[in-house]
């Protein structure tokens, strides 16, 4: 499988990005990473905010490659899975991000108290690493899209 296969199967659409779009997405990443660590939120909210940061980093990497995930069922799943193709994120980390996605869904839609403080801290650490990896990848692979 490749992102071109995903495009052919309708899981992605072509997208033309700009340095402004990438800067805007990474501004959200930066804000969310800062906010999830303030210590003023419940573990559920910390995890949810961290999750949004990595989702935006994945969207930025996809955009740099000329794609976006259409807004429909499982669009978050495909955005996170795409990190294996864009920034060449290892399978284990992609699996952890999918577990984070599922945990966030449970805490948002099913029941309160589903996230422990330890889980939130682990999620934040994972997301920080992936977001930093995505930014480094963009800087080296698509410097024309990175604002000075």
In a domain, 2, yes or no: no
45, pLDDT greater than 70: yes
Chain segment 100-127, per-residue pLDDT in tens: 998 887 666 657 777 889 999 999 999 9
Torsion of CA 73, 71, 35, 137, to 10 degrees: 100
Domain count, the chain: 1
In a domain, 12, yes or no: no
In a domain, 8, yes or no: no
**pTM to 2 decimals?**
0.93
In a domain, 6, yes or no: no
In a domain, 128, yes or no: yes
Core vs surface per residue 71-105: b (16+ CB within 10 A) or e = eeeebbebbbbbbbbbbebeeebbebbeebbebbe
In a domain, 69, yes or no: yes
Whose structure tokens read 């994972």?
126
Chain segment 49-103, per-residue pLDDT in tens: 999 999 999 999 999 999 999 988 889 999 999 999 999 999 999 999 999 998 8
In a domain, 130, yes or no: yes
CATH number at residue 92: 1.20.120.330
Q: Which domain holds residue 67?
A: 17-145
In a domain, 127, yes or no: yes
Q: In this predicted structure, what is the pLDDT of residue 57?
A: 98
């Amino acid at each position: 499988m490749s992102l071109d296969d995903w495009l052919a199967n309708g899981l992605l659409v072509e997208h033309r990005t700009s340095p402004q779009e990438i800067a805007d997405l990474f501004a959200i990443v930066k804000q969310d990473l800062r906010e999830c660590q303030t210590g003023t939120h419940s573990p559920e909210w910390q995890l949810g905010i961290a999750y949004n940061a990595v989702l935006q980093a994945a969207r930025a990497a996809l955009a740099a490659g000329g794609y976006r995930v259409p807004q429909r069922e499982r669009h978050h799943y495909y955005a996170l899975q795409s990190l294996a193709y864009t920034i060449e994120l290892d399978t284990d980390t992609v699996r952890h991000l999918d577990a984070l996605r599922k945990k966030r869904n449970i805490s948002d839609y099913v029941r309160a108290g589903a996230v422990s403080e330890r889980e939130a801290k682990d999620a934040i650490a994972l997301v920080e690493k992936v977001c930093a990896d995505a930014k480094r990848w963009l800087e080296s692979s698509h410097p024309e899209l990175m604002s000075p």
